[in-house]
Amino acid sequence: MSLDDKDILNAVFTRFKDQPVEFIMAQYETAKRMNMDIERRLADRQSCEPTMPSPEGMPELSAPEAEKPVEAPKRKKPSRKDLVCKPEEAITDESIKCCLCGKESSSLTSRHLAQHDISVEEYKKLCGYAEDQKLMSGNFERKMLHNVLRAQQVRMKNLKEKEENAS
């Protein structure tokens, strides 16, 4: 049911192609928030029959009469009861699952958590993770560590070669 970001941007750009970029981006943010609200309502009513929101409750996208700043709606911060999975089961060697939406990936980024209006620190506190807990799967964490170590070795090798050439 949900729309991808590219589909939302394409629809907004198609409708307002003659408008300035700032206006198009403001309309995109509005449409994206509406899409996220619809997704949240559908997830809340997963066991019930989904219904479409009434047209009266939906704001109309229109050309700007005067440039007005777009204000984000105030949303409550997530709590433990909003978690869709157990934090102790969310991190495995293969993947990490977002406890707020259930999305699985190799790592949870601050960008993803920003979609839930929560910072990485707040998310770790909410889920009961330690401050130094990495929000990535075990395999991905090992791969990143390997890449860092390899980069350090190459850096040290290059420094030694530079010193030898200078002598």
Is 11 part of any domain? yes
pLDDT band at 89 (very low <50, low <70, confident <90, very high): very high
* pLDDT score of 45: 72
Q: Greater confidence, 62 or 30?
A: 30
The answer to whether residues 152 and 85 belong to one domain is yes
Chain mean pLDDT for the chain: 82
**What pLDDT, in 10s, does the model give residues 109-144?**
989 998 888 999 999 999 999 999 999 999 999 999
Would you say 22 and 66 are in contact if contact means Cβ atoms under 8 Å apart?
Answer: no
Does residue 155 share a domain with residue 108? yes
Residues of the domain holding 89 = 80-166
Domains contained in the chain, number:
2
Q: What is the mean pLDDT of residues 100-114?
A: 91
Residues 96 and 144 both lie in one domain: yes
Residues 41 and 102 in one domain: no
Residue 75 lies in a domain: no
Q: What does the pLDDT average to over 146-156?
A: 90
Selected residue with higher pLDDT from 28 and 119 = 119
**132 secondary structure, DSSP code:** T
Residue 64 lies in a domain: no
Residues 96 and 38 in one domain: no
